[in-house]
Amino acid sequence: MNELLNWQITLPIAIAALVFGYLLGSIPFGLLLTKAAGLGDIRSIGSGNIGATNVLRTGNKKLAAATLLLDALKAAAAVLIAWYVLGMEAGLIAGFAAFMGHLFPVWLGFKGGKGVATYIGMLLGVAPWMVLVFATVWLLVAKLSKYSSLSALVATLVIPVVLWFINEPKIAAVMAVMTVISWLKHKTNIERLIAGTESRIGQKD
């Protein structure tokens, strides 16, 4: 608990990490890639989100995969660059800010994606092997339920718990906050899961 409360970072460095992470995270790769490919504005189809899941609704799997990869890498890059230049705690702040930048990009009226890829990218930067934990939980729940959204939601619940038990309280705390925000962004998915109307993996909308 003492380690959780003992953050050794100055306000100017924290602000610098926040701004850097947010700007990097707010790059809307899904929107940029689909426009460059001549597919129009991704916000006009499906859920209206800029993430890989909505890009997949265009039918272009390569673009969706590229969006997923780039959205993850922007969060990982924010973590690693800030960590290297300003210290570990700055890396955590920058990664969190990148996640928020993806969800609420100022350039798009604060309407972004749901953050699963950037959540994974944050893990890639702060605790790479935890990506395997996330993937394992996701695959297990997906196999049992056939719901992609449920798989991601359960995986985000497991991650902070595992991090806490392996004595990474600072990382666990940041990831727990990201989990709460991610669940809030998935509100409509949760409502559809409860109602039994959520699309299953492989099911066409």
Domain membership of residue 90 (yes or no) is yes
- Domain span at 142: 2-195
Q: What is the pLDDT of residue 202?
A: 64
Domain membership of residue 205 (yes or no) is no
Tens-digit pLDDT profile for residues 79-95? 999 999 999 999 999 99
Tens-digit pLDDT profile for residues 30-70? 888 888 888 777 787 766 678 777 787 777 788 889 999 99
Q: Looking at the 3D structure of the chain, how many domains does it have?
A: 1
Domain membership of residue 173 (yes or no) is yes
pTM for this one?
0.90
Domain membership of residue 54 (yes or no) is yes
CA contacts within 13 A on the Cβ side of 144: 9
